[in-house]
Amino acid sequence: MFVFGTQYLRGATPERDQWERDLANIKEYGFNTVRAWLVWNAVEKAEGEIDYDYIASFLDCAKRNELEVGLLFHMHACPNWAIKKYSRYFYVDENSLPFEPAVRPNSPTGGWPGLCYDHPEVREMEKRFIEGVIAETKKHDCVSFYEPMNEPHQWVDYTKQPGGIFCYCDASVKRFQEWLREKYGDIGTLNAAWGHFYGSFDEIRPPRWTTSYADYADFRLFNMENVTREIRYRADIIRACDTKPVIAHAWGGGAVTCSQLGGMAFDDWKNAEVFDKWGYSAFPYKARDCASLGLGCDSTRCAANGKEYWQSELSAGLRGVGLDVSGRIDDKTFDKFSLESIRHGARGLLYWQYRKERFGAEWGGFALTDYDGGPTNLTRKASALCKAIKENEALFCEGTQGNAEVALVFSRRSYLAAWCSNAKKGNKFAVDSISGYYKMFWEENIH
């Protein structure tokens, strides 16, 4: 089956009395899949009390409308009871200040970024929650896949300039020291690489300002691998509970297009190894963005290394937040974005998203529908494309990519060097370099 669908449920949006109507419409438009967020603070409002009725009611509604469901565990939205009880597990910034969880665009119900998973106790909470949820979800045959984390990366505090990075808590520092000991073996080798004079690994503290290269690059490389370690931990829990595929996708075009890779710290290639299927999210707005969309697709396909890959979050075309929106894209551009993803080999396409958020910074933007959940030009175009794919499903599912004629080399260290050199602008030079080379070949349709 060619997966064609949309993001639908996230915390308090949409309201439960809208589910039946919306999912019936989604089915009528021709979609076969919806992606739903299991937001921690929406599902476990009191410690140890998982809202099974919320989960079962949604999945039963999807089943009635013959829709497959993918479920994301959004642990970045910490419940209020955990915020109050476990402040000792807050992330800690470069000034040694705890970061109290709060509202963010991807967590409109609050609790972002959650608790630092370098603490064993936090991991135990994650395990208990995931196991508890799957005890219910595995009863429902409409569940088709799980995601252990949305866009796996180390989060960044963008209220600071340059963006504040994490984490400096004792548990994270200890993990960093262990990583360095494994990498360098002895303290003399590390000192030679860094130009420092440590007497032992337990003296090392993570660097706190972007005024150096070797130590800062290692700190971010550690965080990249630490993110992979965390998603592997969660994926293993899911696989021990259910046999459904475990998938995930890279942030906004993947590592090669991320101008803040030094801060966000993620590695598509390492992360993709964890999953059965891999994808990425893309939020283009103008037709000229197709080249960067193609770059994201090709790098994602490369990271997937032969596994099936998806366009996991494709912008529905309404750009902006709140009242500051730029309007929907036209039909022709919408088709370009959808087909650009498919022509680069995507075996699934999910739009972000079906309904507008009711709360938070993303209120007013990013939706296939109007404010009441009614159809727009984008709903109709997506429906027409969906039906065309369904009529020619074998062609779309069995088609293969031609052999590449050119290879572009992505270097994490080059990106980190650019980021260390000018953190306020990030690694824009590195991104522009690979994007420029890619566009030359893209315009000539050279693989």
Work out the pLDDT band at 401, boundaries 50, 70, 90: confident
Q: Tell me what percent of the chain is helix, strand and coil, each rounded to the nearest 5.
A: 45, 15, 40
Alpha-carbon distance of 442 to 447, in angstroms, equals 7
pLDDT score, position 136: 97
β-sheet bridge partners, residue 249: 279
- What's the pLDDT score for residue 227? 98
Instruction: For residue 431, name the pLDDT band (cuts at 50, 70, 90).
Output: very high
Please report how many Cα atoms fall inside a 13 Å half-sphere around the Cα of residue 361, on the Cβ side: 8
Phi, psi at 388, each rounded to 5°: -65, -40
For residue 129, name the pLDDT band (cuts at 50, 70, 90).
Answer: very high
Q: What is the rounded average pLDDT of the residues 277-282?
A: 96
Tens digit of pLDDT for each residue in 177-205?
999 999 999 999 999 999 999 999 999 99
- pLDDT digit string (tens) for 65-82? 999 999 999 999 999 999
pLDDT tens profile 343-379: 999 999 999 999 999 998 888 778 999 989 999 999 9
The percent of residues above 90 in pLDDT, for the chain, comes to 82
Reported as type and span, the H/E element at residue 178 is helix 170-184
Per-residue pLDDT at 424 exceeds 80: no
pLDDT at position 274: 98
Q: What is the pLDDT averaged over residues 19-44?
A: 98
- Rounding to the nearest 10 degrees, give the CA dihedral for residues 132, 45, 43, 135: 10
Q: Note the pLDDT tens digit of each residue in 299-334.
A: 999 999 999 999 999 998 777 777 787 778 899 999
- The set of residues, in sequence order, having a beta carbon less than 8 Å from that of 382 and lying 6+ positions away, is 6, 29, 31, 334, 338, 351, 368
d(CA 18, CA 434): 44
8 Å CB contact between 78 and 152: no
Average pLDDT score over residue span 378-405: 89
- Rounded Cα–Cα distance for residues 173 and 202 (Å): 9
Averaged pLDDT for residues 281-285: 92
**418 in Cβ contact with 429 (< 8 Å):** yes
* 8, containing H or E segment: strand 3-10
pLDDT number for residue 393: 87
Q: Is residue 162 over pLDDT 90?
A: no
Quickly count: other Cβ atoms within 10 Å of residue 298's Cβ.
21
Q: Side chain identity at 342, as an amino acid letter?
A: I
Question: How do 33-39 and 3-10 pair as beta strands?
Answer: parallel
pTM of the model: 0.96
Q: How far is CA 354 from CA 7, 42, 121, 288, 378, in A?
A: 6, 19, 36, 24, 10
User: What's the rounded Cα separation, in Å, for the pair 211 and 281?
Assistant: 32
Structure confidence at residue 120 (pLDDT): 98
- Report pLDDT for 432: 93
